[in-house]
Amino acid sequence: MLYLGAMDFRMEDAATGLRAHLRELVREHVPPDFLGAFTEDPADLEVTQRFCRVLADRGLLCPSWPREFGGRDASVWEQTVVREEMWAHHEPRGAQYMGVNWVGPAVMRHGTPEQWRRHLPPIARGEVIWCQGFSEPDAGSDLASLRTTARRDGDDWRVRGQKIWTSYATMAQWCFLLVRTSSGERKQHGLTVFLVPMERAGVEVRPIRSMLGPHHLNELFLADVRVGAADVLGTVDDGWRVVREVLAFERVGMARYARCERLLQAAPAALGDAWDTLAAELRGRWTRMLVHCRRARLLAYRVLSLQDRGTVSPADTAAYRIAVTRLDQDSAEVLVEIAGHVPPTDADGRRFRRAVDDHWRYAQASTIASGSVEMQRILLARTLLADS
């Protein structure tokens, strides 16, 4: 039982048993050296594709989805256990978390019956990869300032513009694309979400090389890409309402604290006898990071509880996002220092060092991705001032 203020979080027996089952599936189907799908080795991507099929066959890829959409009506806490175990083990679902966590729920909430039939079953089976066409060179944290436009062409539209930092675009089959379809009094008005196949004429992807590895970051160019009414998610010019919901689900959908905690808990075993020789100050910081992991977990549970009741606010997700991304970076710094003391001749020690290095590299972008921490602080401050 977990408490936070007036909240009472109870992990059901089913959720506890599910956690053990998921760990067994990871041990059985995921190589011990696996550090994610987005590496130079195409075998890593194939591992994720196979593992998604394993989860889907057991009803564990999106268990909290309604049965009619490919889930099994499980509780939000069972879905949370799946999310935590996947992130703790370097996300062996690959890019599928995007479809499961927020593309699918957005289509359920705002899509047409035809869009439900077309998009939800492949996501539930782990057969399709989505990318997110949001950020632009001059519209990152200030997303509503985007300049990619869709202009009417008969009954259709023609999309022109550029997106950047588009994760998984080289491997995705579909793009969740936000564009401007008209101008309004506020920049948030006149935006529309289109569901666009990546194979459509006029779509070009250019990879951005970075320390995060291949496939992860890309530029997306759209040159007179034709989209129609069947591609619109929700209502034309009302895309900002859809995106606000999407961002709330996305920002709480990454259980970064689970990976931080798993690596921190693995540190003493990785060092062996050398653990007792670490400076007291470093071990003290390690302890504080474990406390911060629990704090971030409680914040996540609070937001998930509010989402489940339909009462979550942007400030709630902003507070969680600030806490968990800072945890990501602060824990990475502590882990790098600890890993420097791991004997390089030990196989388990080398595996721990590689995992820490991977965590550190990804942590560098955590306070920028999905909305910078500065923007989250502004959002949170505005809400607090409005309520004061």
Confidence band for 249, pLDDT divided at 50, 70 and 90: low
Please report, rounded to a whole number, the percentage of residues in the chain having pLDDT higher than 70: 93
Confidence band for 175, pLDDT divided at 50, 70 and 90: very high
Q: CATH assignment of 255-387? A: 1.20.140.10
CB contact set of 93 (below 8 Å; sequence gap of 6+): 48, 51, 52, 55, 61, 86, 100, 126
Encode 316-341: b = buried (16+ Cβ within 10 Å), e = exposed: bbbbbbbbbbbbbbbbbebbeebbeb
Confidence band for 320, pLDDT divided at 50, 70 and 90: confident
**Mean model confidence pLDDT for the chain:** 89
Structure confidence by residue, pLDDT tens digits, 94-132: 888 889 988 999 999 999 999 999 999 999 999 999 999
Tell me the C-alpha distance between 4 and 300, whole Å: 11
Structure confidence by residue, pLDDT tens digits, 352-379: 999 999 999 888 877 776 667 777 787 7
pLDDT of residue 24: 97
CATH class of 132-237: mainly beta
Domain ranges of the chain: 2-94, 132-237, 255-387
Residues 13/81, Cβ–Cβ less than 8 Å:
no
Tell me the C-alpha distance between 94 and 47, whole Å: 9
Confidence band for 386, pLDDT divided at 50, 70 and 90: confident
pLDDT of residue 116: 97
pLDDT over 50 (residue 4)? no
Q: Which two tokens stand for residue 209?
A: 């090389």
Superfamily of domain 2-94: Acyl-CoA dehydrogenase/oxidase, N-terminal domain (1.10.540.10)
Q: Residue 338: helix, strand or coil by DSSP?
A: helix
At position 133, the amino acid (one-letter code) is G
Confidence band for 55, pLDDT divided at 50, 70 and 90: very high
Tell me the C-alpha distance between 263 and 328, whole Å: 11
For residue 275, the number of C-alpha atoms closer than 13 Å in the C-beta half-sphere is: 14
Name the nearest CA neighbour of 355 among 247, 276, 230, 267: 267
